[in-house]
Chain A
Amino acid sequence: MSGPGPQPPAELLEATLQAILFASGEPVVAAELAEAFEGWSAAEIADALERLGARHARRAEGLRVERVAGGFRLATDPRVGPWVRRFFRHQHRTRLSAAALETLAIVAYRQPITAPEIQAIRGVDPGAALRSLLDKRLIRIVGRKKVVGTPFLYGTTSRFLEHFGLDRLEDLPSLEELDELVGHLDALQDEALRRAETARMPAPEEDPEAAEPIGSDPR
Chain B
Amino acid sequence: MTSETGGGAAFAWRTSAEGALSFRVGTFEGPLDLLLHLVRAQEIDITNLPIAELTDQYLAYLDRMRALDLEIAGEYLVMAATLVHLKSRMLLPRETSLEAPEEEDPRAALVQQLLEYQRYKQAAENLQALDTARSLVWTRPGDAALLRGERRLVVDLVELVAALREVLERLGEERRLSLRRDHVSVERKMAWLRRELAARESVELAELLELQPTRLDRIGVFLALLELVRLGEVVAFQRRLFEPIRLARVRLGPEVGP
Asked whether A147 is an interface residue with its Cβ less than 8 Å from the other chain, the reply is: no
Interface code A149-164, partner B: CB below 8 Å = 1, 0 otherwise?
Answer: 0000000011100011
Interface code A69-81, partner B: CB below 8 Å = 1, 0 otherwise?
Answer: 0000111111001
Asked whether A8 is an interface residue with its Cβ less than 8 Å from the other chain, the reply is: no
Asked whether A168 is an interface residue with its Cβ less than 8 Å from the other chain, the reply is: no
A216 with B132: CB separation less than 8 A: yes
Do most interface residues of chain A lie in helix, strand or loop, or is the interface mixed? helix
The closest CB in chain A to the CB of B8 belongs to A213
A76 with B138: CB separation less than 8 A: yes
The residue from A81, A82, A141, A208 contacting B158, defined by CB atoms under 8 A apart: A141
Question: CA A23 – CA B73 in complex, angstroms?
Answer: 49
Asked whether B98 is an interface residue with its Cβ less than 8 Å from the other chain, the reply is: no
Asked whether A54 is an interface residue with its Cβ less than 8 Å from the other chain, the reply is: no
Max chain B C-beta neighbours (<10 A), residue from A97, A101, A217: A101
Q: When A98-B29, A189-B40, A211-B16 are in contact, do A78 and B129 touch as well, CB less than 8 Å?
A: no
B130 with A123: CB separation less than 8 A: no
Q: When A81-B137, A211-B17, A216-B5 are in contact, do A24 and B147 touch as well, CB less than 8 Å?
A: yes
B1 with A97: CB separation less than 8 A: yes
Interface code B114-129, partner A: CB below 8 Å = 1, 0 otherwise?
Answer: 0011111111111111
Q: When A104-B124, A105-B123, A105-B124 are in contact, do A165 and B134 touch as well, CB less than 8 Å?
A: yes
The residue from A24, A179, A189, A195 contacting B119, defined by CB atoms under 8 A apart: A179
Question: CA A79 – CA B228 in complex, angstroms?
Answer: 47
Question: CA A85 – CA B8 in complex, angstroms?
Answer: 20
- Cβ–Cβ < 8 Å partners of B116 in chain A: 121
B129 with A218: CB separation less than 8 A: yes
The residue from B32, B129, B139 contacting A74, defined by CB atoms under 8 A apart: B139
Interface code A120-138, partner B: CB below 8 Å = 1, 0 otherwise?
Answer: 0111110000000010010
Give the residues from 1 to 58 in chain B that come closer than 8 angstroms, CB to CB, to chain A: 1-2, 5-11, 13-17, 20, 27, 29-33, 40, 43
Max chain A C-beta neighbours (<10 A), residue from B126, B144, B146: B126
Question: CA A90 – CA B128 in complex, angstroms?
Answer: 21
- Give the A-B contact count at a CB cut-off of 8 A: 191
B129 with A105: CB separation less than 8 A: no
A197 with B16: CB separation less than 8 A: yes
Question: CA A211 – CA B152 in complex, angstroms?
Answer: 46
B10 with A101: CB separation less than 8 A: yes
- Cβ–Cβ < 8 Å partners of B153 in chain A: 137, 157-159
- Interface bin, chain A: 35 or more
The residue from B43, B121, B136 contacting A193, defined by CB atoms under 8 A apart: B43
B146 with A105: CB separation less than 8 A: no
Asked whether A192 is an interface residue with its Cβ less than 8 Å from the other chain, the reply is: yes
Question: CA A179 – CA B115 in complex, angstroms?
Answer: 9
Nearest Cβ on chain A to B230's Cβ, whole angstroms: 12
Binding stretch for chain B, among A10-18, A44-52, A170-178: A170-178
B16 with A210: CB separation less than 8 A: yes
- Cβ–Cβ < 8 Å partners of A175 in chain B: 119, 123
The 9 closest A-B pairs by CB, nearest first: A25-B142, A81-B136, A196-B16, A213-B11, A216-B7, A124-B30, A105-B123, A25-B140, A216-B129
| Contacts A/B (CB < 8 Å), 18 sampled | A24-B142, A25-B139, A32-B149, A36-B148, A75-B139, A78-B136, A101-B124, A105-B120, A105-B124, A106-B120, A122-B32, A123-B32, A124-B30, A124-B73, A134-B158, A159-B153, A182-B119, A215-B7
Residues of B with Cβ closer than 8 Å to A? 1-2, 5-11, 13-17, 20, 27, 29-33, 40, 43, 73, 75, 79, 113, 116-144, 146-149, 152-153, 156-158, 201, 241
Residues of A with Cβ closer than 8 Å to B? 1, 22-26, 32, 35-36, 66, 73-78, 81-82, 84-85, 88, 93, 95-99, 101-102, 104-106, 108-109, 121-125, 134, 137, 140-141, 157-159, 163-166, 172-173, 175, 178-179, 181-182, 185-186, 189-190, 192-193, 195-197, 208, 210-218
Known: A124-B73, A178-B119, A178-B123. 12 other contacts (CB 8 A): A24-B147, A73-B139, A75-B138, A75-B139, A81-B138, A98-B29, A123-B75, A124-B30, A137-B153, A141-B158, A214-B11, A217-B129
